[in-house]
Amino acid sequence: MTADAHTHAAGGSRLLRNRNFILLWCAYAVSAMGDHLSEMAILKTQNALDANVDMTALNARMTFTFFLPFFLLSSAAGVMADRFPRRALMVGADLVRCIILVMFGTLILWTQHWGAWGVFLPLSLVGAFAAVFSPARSALLSTIVQPDHLARANGMISGLGIIATMVAAMIGGFLADYYEPTVAFRVDAATFVVSAVLLMLMIPPRRQPLVSVEKKTSVLADLRAGFNYAGSHRHVAELLGVAALVWFCGSLVHSVLPAIVRDVYEGTYQDISNYRALLGLGFIFGAIIVSIIGNTLHSGIIITWGFFGISASIAVLASSVILSRWGWPASTLATMGGCGVVAAGLFAVSIMATFNAMLQRTVANRYRGRIFGVTDVCTVGALLLATGALGLPTSFRVDRWVGEILLGVSLLTFSAGVLTFMVRLRRNCMDDAIVLVFCHIAQFLARFWWRMKRIGPATLPREGSVIITANHTSSIDPFLLHTAAPYRLISYMFAQEHAEKPLIRWFAKKVECILVKRDGQDTGATKQAMRFLRAGKVVGIFIEGGTVAPGQQSEPKDGVALLALRTGATVIPAYISGVVYYESMLAGFIRRHHARVRMGKPVDLSEFRQGKADREQVRAATGKIFSAVRSLAPSSTDENEKNV
């Protein structure tokens, strides 16, 4: 295994050797357990299993009350995370929540007579200090983990946090079924003590000043700077919109799930907890997938297909509710609903782990705490909108409309998937949605299965006529070049005999390949390539013609130079290494590689463009282009990039 391959494969093990990450990882998981362990006990105080109780409204009010402080305080908490030691803020938040949970039973006795919302008001105190904990944790993570490990770290944190939430749901349901609510509150308090101890064992990196002391800015100015930063950066603003939508839809599903389990699946408190655990199981699967694929997929692709996945999953869950009205057995519906819940959790956590990694990579460290505070404001604002809409009505029972609510969630997330897909279509300068889907698949195969990495910058111009030319070792080479510069569609010269089958011919035309006869007399293909270049497109030509085995001598063909001199197109050289040579086209696709692509600067052909290009000038230009391609080959000592 090459050194680079070992690095890719061992990314997770490196994180597991990072002491600070392990402690933060576990502390977050225990704290997440504490945030949810008492939920079933609180519902028990309201006799939620009674068929006459509107459980959806109760659950929505509980969620609303817990998260309201996030909306009110997260911006200030983000400023605190940029001004004060982040670990100390998290420890303090844990200890205060412990004290509140010890007194929780007494607090409920005081507030339960204050209307329909009174019993849930003590949760707002717990939520207030959870709001302090959240931006400090997110901002601290990026200072103890290397940038290329952020996607995996967020996936691992999300996964363990969800495992903790699952455990909390199951323990909470058990305690609610067999013990008085005060027992759950005391167990909950203990979790925050454990979290605080784990955080105190961390040895964080030397603190760098995050907010300039010389400027002496006020807290209000820092708050305004955080919102201005989010609003002025289009990428950040779009990410916040994605997160808000996921939280809005997730809050609706989370609120209606207990009523579905009680009324459709005929379940108990323990069953309600088990279905929340199933949601957590989906979160775990999603976190594992994110941890495995790491950076092999563009984050925008994960978000787009994540929305489509959520839509399909919620549609399955909604179907279990609607089919119950037609007399389907509860056991069958419970299985169907469980599958939908797991799948929804999988796709949701994939989006959120990707969101966190993108935000941590995008935002400067001095703003990171404030931006995560703004994130909490946006996401919790969406949650409050959803749960408030469900929890406020008292004149009718929301439980009767849970199927329609889920169908609305499915339609909304499907629309979000379409919108993000159209945005990617526009930004990739493509007019065909099918082609973009193929590009997504190609990028995934290249980065995950063929372990492709681009060495150095992508030098392919974003506009104008371009010829990209490279050596040719395998049938996967066109996919590798596309992945190295995915922002433009490359029209490759493609051997006509490979397009004899209707499906392959259709695909070749769809991605604008130029079919070429191997006899060397195909003037039609040359004319088509010239038309493409004069229209400002990118044409890909392998300068050696067919595939060439490592060590085999080859002569460059004149096609690249001829087209460049006739059309004035820019020539970008590239070199592909780390690819195993196979005579079979199919074998190149199936087998794994350690592919590397290096792109060079444009080849200067101005000396050959004086007057009419004769055969001698074309040959000289070909030699210069071929030399530029070969100069990009890795050295013999570079094991990460040489041909296998």
Closest to 161 (Cα-Cα) out of 202, 191, 193: 191
Q: What is the dihedral of CA 370, 376, 378, 381, to 10 degrees?
A: -140
d(CA 253, CA 315): 11
Q: Rounded to 5 degrees, what are φ and ψ at 120?
A: -95, -5
Residue 360 has pLDDT above 80, yes or no: no
What per-residue confidence (pLDDT) applies to 643?
Answer: 40
Residues 6 or more apart whose CB falls under 8 angstroms from that of 326 comprise none
> Which strand (E) or helix (H) includes residue 491?
strand 490-495
Q: 337 near 265, Cβ under 8 Å?
A: yes
Residue 297 has pLDDT above 90, yes or no: no
Give me 219's structure tokens: 């807290």
pTM for this predicted structure: 0.63
For residue 584, what is the DSSP state?
A: S
Residues 6 or more apart whose CB falls under 8 angstroms from that of 69 comprise 124, 125, 127, 128, 130, 131
CA diameter of the chain: 96
Residues 6 or more apart whose CB falls under 8 angstroms from that of 362 comprise 233, 235, 236, 239
* Other residues' Cβ atoms within 10 Å of the Cβ of residue 22: 16
Closest to 493 (Cα-Cα) out of 520, 463, 526: 526
Residue-wise pLDDT tens digits, 100-132: 888 887 887 787 777 767 777 888 888 888 888
Instruction: Look at the alpha carbons of 513, 517, 520, 524 in this order and tell me if their dihedral is positive or negative.
Output: negative
Q: Higher-confidence residue: 342 or 212?
A: 342
Percent of the chain with pLDDT over 70: 86
CA atoms within 13 A on the CB side of 549: 4
d(CA 530, CA 563): 7
What per-residue confidence (pLDDT) applies to 407?
Answer: 94
Q: 467 near 569, Cβ under 8 Å?
A: yes
Residue 339 has pLDDT above 90, yes or no: yes
Burial classification of residue 208, based on how many CB atoms lie within 10 Å of its CB (0-12 exposed, 13-18 middle, 19 or more buried) = exposed
Residue 566 has pLDDT above 90, yes or no: no
What per-residue confidence (pLDDT) applies to 258?
Answer: 85
Tell me the average pLDDT of the chain.
Answer: 80
Query: Any idea how long the chain is?
Result: 644
d(CA 348, CA 246): 7
pLDDT tier, 2 (very low <50, low <70, confident <90, very high otherwise): very low
Give me 406's structure tokens: 């889920």
Structural domains present in the chain: 13-201+219-427 (1.20.1250.20), 439-630 (3.40.1130.10)
> Would residue 203 be called left, alpha or beta, if left means φ above 0 and alpha means ψ between -120 and 50 degrees?
beta
